[in-house]
Amino acid sequence: MNNSLKPETLCVQGGWQPTKGEPRVLPIYQSTTFKYDTSEQMAKLFDLEESGYFYTRLQNPTNDAVAAKIAALEGGVGAMLTSSGQAANFYAVFNICQAGDHMVCSSTIYGGTFNLFGVTLKKLGIDVTFVDPDASEEEIISAFQPNTKALFGETMSNPGMNVLDIEKFARIAHGQGVPLIIDNTFATPINCRPFEWGADIVTHSTTKYMDGHATCVGGVIVDSGNFDWEAHADKFPGLTTPDESYHGLTYTKAFGKMAYMTKATAQLMRDLGSIQSPQNAFLLNLGLETLHLRMPQHCKNAQQVAEWLEANEQVAWVNYPGLKSNKYHELAQKYMPNGTCGVIAFGLKGTREEAIRFMDNLKMICIVTHVADARTCVLHPASHTHRQLTDEQLIEAGVAPDLIRLSVGIEHAEDIIADIKQALNQ
Ligand SMILES: *Cc1c(COP(=O)(O)O)cnc(C)c1O
């Protein structure tokens, strides 16, 4: 399919391209395995000499169609679905880092990723230095070491809503000979395509806006195909030297621009699993078909709610990049001129207990461990998603202890505001 089609068209028609007599709608290939006529045909697949399906842990046609749609939306050369956003971020890093390696990462990233990198990767021997994403280039560069293999950040941080200067991060990464990995979950490719600003690899928790209906946990990794692994061959031996588990095949030589994605699929997914179920991929695809309609509504509603909150005297502060008063407004205008997303961070005047009482008083808006779906919901990160973090880590992560994360849905803005108003009045 022509990948220069507009995002709206790719949302609806990308990925699945049926030919004569095939189902118009992407089918669920609910099969673990695939048939071949000869043993020889299958052997070639195992040796990566030919591409084809043989076992769903490695590849499945439903998943591949959805991955192809997301790759087209991001402007990448290939993509792989994973069972969750956590798995996507883990694989994106583990595909190029091994024990003894190091990574530099924005400190304001999502709490789950912060734990994955700061605690679990450390146990695997991969060290991470967290940096303030708003620090100067010199300061961030000073965190790099000879064994640094990647720079990582989020387009917009969950839940602080800091907007990343992607071009600055890309300049730093490339100056140090490493790729820039961007978690683009909150912006989605409808509002920002990080590859256009120099990012090399993009990840998503598809659980959020892409699915959009809070039905399936999932993730995706997309590669731009732009990073020149061979030019930094000594840094990335996993891609540029023979893989003994495939008879000494070298990914960069055998697959060129598809080296990174092929290794992620043929090696990491083969060995570690964490594939997205084809059933979930099917539901994710239904979500993607309306992503371009839902994102503008999330942004429009969130803008109205943020402006209302900002004008309310019970509200201490509001962090929404769409507000003119916002520290990140200018960066948001540059990277996301059509709007950012539906997530607003704010704090109330008064005590932490009063903030919790406000959330308990909401009627239509529910307290859920979720964000970025059709229904407006609310969460107090310091008591919920980020409760493992110390106060110091909370502040480093851009999460004020009084921060309320409001994920504005696609209902009518007046009904959302009315619910907030009645809860504040109690
Ligand atoms: C939710 C989230 C994740 C983790 O994704 P799961 O699908 O919950 O595993 C990663 N990054 C960001 C920005 C998220 O919001």
The CATH code of the domain that includes 306 is 3.90.1150.10
Ligand 1 atom closest to the Cα of residue 186 is: 13
Q: How close is the Cα of 78 to the center of ligand 1, in Å?
A: 20
Q: How close is the Cα of 282 to the center of ligand 1, in Å?
A: 19
Q: Is residue 13 part of a domain?
A: yes
Here the contacts of 194-198 (C-beta below 8 Å, separation 24 or greater) are 194/74, 194/155, 194/166, 195/74, 195/75, 195/76, 195/224, 195/226, 196/75, 197/166, 197/167, 197/170, 197/335, 198/166, 198/167, 198/169, 198/170, 198/171, 198/174
- 357 shares a domain with 267: no
Q: How close is the Cα of 105 to the center of ligand 1, in Å?
A: 16
Residues near 172 by beta carbon (within 8 Å), at least 6 away in sequence: 137, 140, 141, 151
Q: 161 and 52 in contact (C-beta within 8 Å)?
A: no
Max CA pair span of the chain: 74
Q: 403 and 376 in contact (C-beta within 8 Å)?
A: no
Q: Is residue 388 part of a domain?
A: yes
The confidence score (pLDDT) of residue 383 equals 81
* Residues in contact with ligand 1 (CB, 6 Å cut-off): 84-86, 89, 110, 112-113, 154, 158, 183, 185, 205, 207-208, 217, 219
Q: To test the ligand 1 pocket, which listed residue (208, 210, 216, 405) has its Cβ within 8 A of the most ligand atoms? A: 208
Ligand 1 atom closest to the Cα of residue 185 is: 13
pTM of the model: 0.96
pLDDT above 80 for 391: no
CATH number, domain with residue 265:
3.40.640.10
- 82 shares a domain with 48: yes
Sign of the alpha-carbon dihedral angle for 383, 384, 388, 394: negative
Q: How close is the Cα of 181 to the center of ligand 1, in Å?
A: 15
Q: To test the ligand 1 pocket, which listed residue (82, 84, 86) has its Cβ within 8 A of the most ligand atoms? A: 86
Ligand 1: residue whose CA is nearest its atom 7? 85
Beta strand 102-106 with 78-82: parallel, antiparallel or unpaired? unpaired
pLDDT above 70 for 401: yes
Q: What are the φ/ψ torsions at residue 65 (nearest 5 degrees)?
A: -65, -40
Here the contacts of 91-94 (C-beta below 8 Å, separation 24 or greater) are 91/221, 91/264, 91/268, 91/269, 91/272, 91/274, 92/181, 92/201, 92/203, 92/221, 92/264, 93/117, 93/121, 93/126, 93/150, 93/152, 93/181, 94/124, 94/126, 94/268
Q: Is residue 221 part of a domain?
A: yes
Domain span including residue 373: 293-425
- 189 shares a domain with 137: yes
- 166 shares a domain with 64: yes
Domain boundary among 257, 287, 317: 287
Q: 214 and 292 in contact (C-beta within 8 Å)?
A: no
Q: How close is the Cα of 51 to the center of ligand 1, in Å?
A: 30
Q: Is 368 left (phi over 0), alpha (psi -120 to 50) or beta?
A: beta
The confidence score (pLDDT) of residue 203 equals 98
Mean pLDDT of 155-162: 91
Q: How close is the Cα of 240 to the center of ligand 1, in Å?
A: 30
Instruction: Dump pLDDT digits (tens) for 73-108.
Output: 999 999 999 999 999 999 999 999 999 999 999 999
Beta-bridge partner residues of 269: none
User: For residue 276, what is the DSSP state?
Assistant: P
Q: Which helix (H) or strand (E) holds 78?
A: strand 78-82
Q: Is residue 2 part of a domain?
A: no
- 403 shares a domain with 298: yes
Residue 14 corresponds to which amino acid? Answer: G
Number of domains in the chain: 2
Q: Is residue 1 part of a domain?
A: no
Q: 120 and 253 in contact (C-beta within 8 Å)?
A: no
Ligand 1 atom closest to the Cα of residue 371 is: 15
Give the CA radius of gyration of the chain. 22
Instruction: Dump pLDDT digits (tens) for 166-198.
Output: 999 999 999 999 999 999 999 999 999 999 999
Ligand 1 atom closest to the Cα of residue 113 is: 10
Ligand 1: residue whose CA is nearest its atom 6? 85
Domain boundary among 266, 287, 308: 287
Ligand 1 atom closest to the Cα of residue 372 is: 15
Using the structure block, give the residue that is written with the tokens 């994605």: 261
- 357 shares a domain with 333: yes
Instruction: Dump pLDDT digits (tens) for 257-279.
Output: 999 999 999 999 999 999 999 99
Confidence of residue 3 (pLDDT cuts 50, 70, 90): low
- 187 shares a domain with 124: yes
Residues near 333 by beta carbon (within 8 Å), at least 6 away in sequence: none
Residue 290 corresponds to which amino acid? Answer: T
Q: Is residue 337 part of a domain?
A: yes
Ligand 1 atom closest to the Cα of residue 217 is: 7
- 316 shares a domain with 263: no
Domain boundary among 237, 268, 287: 287
3-state secondary structure of 405: strand
Q: How close is the Cα of 113 to the center of ligand 1, in Å?
A: 7
Q: How close is the Cα of 319 to the center of ligand 1, in Å?
A: 20
Q: How close is the Cα of 86 to the center of ligand 1, in Å?
A: 6
- 173 shares a domain with 106: yes
- 175 shares a domain with 52: yes
Q: 195 and 202 in contact (C-beta within 8 Å)?
A: yes
Average pLDDT, the chain: 95
Quick one: which of 342, 349, 338, 326 has its CA closest to 159?
342
* Separation of alpha carbons 387 and 114, rounded Å: 12
Ligand 1: residue whose CA is nearest its atom 4? 85
- 330 shares a domain with 275: no
- 325 shares a domain with 249: no
The confidence score (pLDDT) of residue 331 equals 98
Instruction: Dump pLDDT digits (tens) for 19-73.
Output: 999 999 999 999 999 999 999 988 888 888 888 899 999 999 999 999 999 999 9
Residue 220 corresponds to which amino acid? Answer: V
